[in-house]
Each structure stands twice: as C-alpha cells, then as structure tokens.
Amino acid sequence: MNIHTPPSPPRPLEDAFGRRISYLRLSVTDRCDLRCTYCMKARPEFLPKSEVLSLEELTELAQAFIRRGVTKIRITGGEPLVRRDVVTLIENLGQEIGQSGLEELCLTSNATQMPLYAERIAAAGVKRVNISLDTLNPRRFAELTRTGQLSRTLDGIAAAKAAGLAIKINTVAMKGDNEHEIEDLISWAHAEGFDITLIEVMPVGEVETHRSNQFLPLSVVREQLETRWTLKDLPDSTGGPSRYARIAETGGRIGFITPLTQNFCAGCNRVRLTCTGKLHLCLGREGALDLRAALREGGPGAVDALLDQAMNIKPEAHDFSVAPGSQPSVARSMAETGG
C-alpha cells in the first residue's frame, strides 16, 4: 500500500522567549531624498547599489516570511518611494493579501513622492500609510530635513488622503527643535482625520550631535498635553510598541512610542530585513543574519534554516541609553535598518 504523508505545515516563527513573530519590516533602500538631522548625517555614505537585493529577491524573501506565519509587512527604508521599482514590489506583495497568510501590507514614507504613486499604492491593496512629519513650520522643516520642502510633503499627504489611504503621522519629539509645536501638530492631524504617534529619539547611528541634546522624554510631553486636553488610554494595540490614547477635545487618537522611558520589548512581534538582505532581530542591538547569502547559495531551504536560527538568537530586549557621554546603541542608522 502506498501511504502518502502530507507535507507538514511550516512552523510559525516563535523566538526563545515565546514571542510569535508575525510582522516583517522590509527596507527596500537605505537612500533618501531627505537628511533628517536625527536620522542621518548631512553627508551619509549609502550602500553600493550592487549589494542591494533585486525586486525578485525581495519578493522571494518576503514570501518565505509569509510561509512562516508573518501576517503583516511594512515596506520602509530609507525612503521606500525613491526606489524606482518599489511600486511593482508593492503590487506583487499586494496580490498575496488574503491569498496566503498575509493580512496587511503597509508603508512608511516621508510622502515627497506620494503624488506620483499614491493611487497605485492604494490600488495594490495598501490601506494604511505612516507618514513622517516633525513640524508644520516651513523654515524648521527645511532645517530638520536639510534638503526638504514642507509643501512637497504636505502635497504628498494630500495625495495619499485623496487616494483613500488611512494616514498616521509619525512625529519624533525633539528637545528644542519641535517640542513647542507638538500640540499644533496634534490639532492639525486630528482636524485632518489622521492618527498621530509621537516617538522618542533613539540612539541608533551617528549624527552630528549627541542624542542627549535631542532626547525629549514623552512622559514630560504627555504631562504637558494633559494640562490642555483630556487623554483617555485606549486598549488598542497594533501588536506594536505604540500605546494609544484618545484626546476627548479633538476626538483623535494619539500614540506614544517610548523605547527609553517605558520599555516595550516583552510584546515584540517583529524583525527587520535590510535592502541587502541582513536580518536584524532587534532595532537596538548589533548583529544580523545574512539572508541574501542563504537565498543565493542555498535557496528556500537555507532561508528557512536561517529563520530557525534567528528565532534562537533574537535578543530579549534592547539596551538603549541616551545618557550624556553614552555611545550609540548601534552604529547603523534607522534608515539602514528600516525604521
């Protein structure tokens, strides 16, 4: 008698601390048209293009994660929309939604290229985009981004809104730079119908100033907001590090990402893949596995084996510190890792 044993379903990704990994942040480029002062140096050295994964390789690796139980993929960078073929990748992965285990495909962008791509992105199945905006003051925007123009980002946001994409604004809260503008940003975002998330500056990568000069604890920001508004904590969680509240007076949602003042690692459900195929298991730790070599030299089986190895070594927590005199926790910038 010929007994066929059905192939066993692939094992979902679970790390040594029992955390299920269901979220991949996929960086498609480390390049960017802006030079935000907290993210990169004025003259960054970008990776040679020859090292960057092809569209086919990015798709294949993303599919390997989906087979292992990843349900959400965020396309990021650098600025993902400065990579010319990224919309094709978004369209390829969009076809997986509802067909494989992929439930959500989303994007983080600075929005400068959104007028060109928003409609195609929405048509590909993307429902939500995170857009970074740290100030509504044109002069400060030019200073903070070094090369940017506020009007271009606002046009991009308008294009994303017109294409029907739900928008969350990401704002890095910075001492001196934008701390007195945070209430204006919240009022503006909520009037536009957008969620907004405030982020503590993280000590990743070298920038021109010490992080202690930029760091503004969100506990202080929240106290300040509560002198003006009523914040009611919400149970909502996107499986991420953001803690949400609703502001009674504006009706809008505000998120707080507080890696420094309130560690969120216990619920970590994510890993990050760079555009050269390095798999980073923690934003705040050095060390990565080379999925590009595994894919090129060993194919899907080798990729799967490396994912198993990754689950055994994913660190329990980051060790960020912005104390005066401290070194960056990791040398690579957020743009390289895929923030």
Q: Please report, as ranges, the residues that interact with ligand SAM according to CB under 6 A.
A: 32, 38-39, 76-77, 79, 108-110, 132, 170, 172, 199, 201-202, 204, 334-335, 339
Site membership for ligand SF4, residue 29 (CB under 6 A): no
Both tokens of 321, joined, read 């510190």
32 contacts ligand SF4 (rule: CB under 6 A): yes
Q: Which is nearer to ligand SAM, 28 or 163 (CB)?
A: 28
Please, are residues 205 and 333 in contact by the beta-carbon 8 Å criterion?
Answer: yes
Span of 33-41, 87-95, 227-235, 293-301 interacting with ligand SF4 by CB under 6 A: 33-41
CB of 28 to ligand SF4, least distance (A): 12
Q: Whole-angstrom Cα distance, residue 230 to residue 242?
A: 19
Nearest to 77 by CA among 317, 227, 276: 276
Q: In the structure encoding, which two tokens stand for residue 222, read together?
A: 């929240």
- Give CA–CA dist 175/164, Å, rounded: 34
What CA–CA distance (Å, rounded) separates 143 from 117? Answer: 26
Question: Quick one: CA torsion of 316, 321, 325, 327, rounded to 10 degrees?
Answer: 50
Q: Determine the length of the chain.
A: 339
* Closer residue to ligand SAM, CB minimum distance, 71 or 145: 145
What minimum distance in Å lies between the beta carbon of 34 and ligand SAM? 7
DSSP string, 251-279: --EEEEE-TTTS--GGG--EEEE-TTSEE
Q: Cite the beta strand spans of 213-260 per DSSP E.
A: 231-233, 243-247, 253-257
Which member of 24, 68, 71, 77 binds ligand SF4 (CB under 6 A)? 77
Q: Is 35 in the site for ligand SF4 (CB under 6 A)?
A: yes
Closer to ligand SF4 by CB, 97 or 121: give it.
121
Is the CB of 82 or the CB of 225 nearer to ligand SAM? 82
Cβ 335 to ligand SF4, closest distance in Å?
A: 4
Residue 199 interacts, among ligand SF4, ligand SAM, none and using kind-specific CB cut-offs from 5 to 8 Å, with: ligand SAM
**Would you state the structure tokens that stand for residue 318, as one six-digit string?**
């980051």
Q: Which residues bind ligand SF4 (CB under 6 A)?
A: 32, 34-36, 39-40, 77-79, 110, 132, 335
